[in-house]
Amino acid sequence: MRKKVTLKQLAKELNLSISTVSKSLKNDPEISQKTINRVHELANFYNYKPNALAVSLKSNKTKTIGIILPEILNHFFAKALFGIEQEASKRGYKIVTCITNESYKKEVEYVEMLNYSSVDGFIVALSQETQVLNKFDHYQVLNRDNVPVVMFDRVSDEIDCDKVVVDDKEASKNAIQYLIDTGCTRIAMITTIGDLSVAKLRLEGVKEVTDNNEKVSLIELSVKDADTFENKIENFLKNNDIDAVLGLDETAAAVTINMSLKLGYKIPSDISVIGFTDGLLSKHSYPKLTTVSQHAEDLGARAAQILVNQLDDLTENHKTKTEVIKTSLIVRDSTN
């Protein structure tokens, strides 16, 4: 099949030993300049590149990071992946990407598979099912094996590792407060991602504000089945007297806008809408969505940075920390 030039072949052709060739390629000062030149010349000629596998086997480093993502069709994770890839490749690391499709079983499989010397470390966002089941043995194994893991966004307190999260609670507090400040009092909170840790945090933030405000009423709608999102939201909008919606995820907000349009409600004069995740839908809705940006790219990049720092560093005992990325409210046209 594939036949690549090896040190052996170069050595033979140059009448040198393998080790001399190896050293020459590294410009080892103990080799004569003349030999170094000869070696480089032939290596260039054959476009020699060391076999990454052999180097990895020897060094016990693969310069590869395993990425475990619950989804890729979700813009948030796509952006995060982009951030990770950029940062990793800048630092000389490859990434191998696995998509769990929100399944616990696949997550376990992937982690095990990658743990067998294919990757130096992991960047993980937990799958929905894993968060529901609350089972994390597969990460304990990594811990025991001393394999660095950085989790982002979808994390768990029960795993001891570095984490990068978004300040979801603070974000939703700000969003709600913004709605209140712009005159809304009958606020609905719509979510399609009820089970996730992030949704819970966002909800907490919302409650914290509305519970302490007599003038504001809060109604919740949690929809699960993707097929009936639209109808449910449409009915909800029709049957409830509200003047604002906070969508806990991008889809919820986008659908809210469209259903409002359909029902003839004016946005934002009749209903203000704020969403989460500054993705394509937010930018290309009409009117454009006011949204909480989680800076997904930064999140990914930061996760990669932390992991690579740990990988390249020789720091032995390392205290795990959780870093919080600030969100920002991007005010566009769906709010007053």
**Contact partner, 276, from DNA, a second copy, none, Cβ < 5-8 Å per class:** none
Q: By CB under 7 A, tell whether 180 contacts DNA.
A: no
- Window 55 to 114, contacts with DNA (CB under 7 A): 55, 57-60
Give the integer Cα–Cα distance in Å for 161 and 163.
Answer: 6
**Shortest CB 214 distance to a second copy, Å:** 36
Of 3 and 215, the one with the shorter C-beta distance to a second copy is 3
**Which of 7, 176 has the CB closer to DNA?**
7
257 lines the binding site for a second copy (CB under 8 A): yes
Element (H, E) at 73: none
Contacts of 23 (CB under 8 A, 6+ apart): 30, 31
Tokens 């992030």, residue? Answer: 198
Residue (205 or 279) nearer to a second copy, CB: 279
Q: Could you say which of 12, 13, 19, 240 contacts DNA (CB under 7 A)?
A: 19
Site stretch for a second copy (CB under 8 A), options 15-23, 140-148, 178-186, 205-213: 140-148
- Tell the smallest beta-carbon distance from residue 335 to a second copy (Å): 17
Q: Which stretch binds a second copy (CB under 8 A): 56-64, 129-137, 169-177, 193-201?
A: 56-64
Radius of gyration of the chain (CA): 26
Sign of CA dihedral 94, 320, 301, 92: negative
What does 114 bind: DNA, a second copy, none (CB cut-off 5 to 8 Å by kind)? Answer: a second copy
Q: Which ranges of 91-166 does DSSP label H, i.e. alpha helix?
A: 104-115, 128-133, 137-145
Binding of residue 215 to a second copy (CB under 8 A): no
Which candidate, 162, 156, 208, 113, places its Cα nearest to that of 306?
162
Q: Is 18 in the site for DNA (CB under 7 A)?
A: yes
Q: Are residues 272 and 179 in contact, defined by beta-carbon separation less than 8 angstroms?
A: yes
Query: Among residues 46 and 136, whose Cβ is nearest to DNA?
Result: 46
Under rule CB under 7 A, residue 115 binds DNA: no
- Say whether residue 50 binds a second copy (CB under 8 A): yes
With b for 16 or more beta-carbon neighbours within 10 A and e for fewer, the 181-219 pattern comes to ebebeebbbbbbbeebbbbbbbbebbbebbeeeeebebe
What contacts 24+ positions apart, CB below 8 Å, involve 316-321?
320/160, 320/161, 320/162, 320/163, 321/162, 321/163
- Judged by CB under 7 A, the chain residues 29 through 58 that form the site for DNA are 29-32, 34-35, 50-51, 54-55, 57-58
CB 309 within 8 A of CB 120: no
CB of 64 to a second copy, least distance (A): 7
27 binds DNA (CB under 7 A): no
Q: Which is nearer to DNA, 55 or 132 (CB)?
A: 55
Give the one entry of a second copy, DNA, none that residue 336 binds, where binding means its C-beta sits below a cut-off of 5 to 8 angstroms depending on kind.
none
Nearest distance, CB of residue 49 and DNA, angstroms? 7
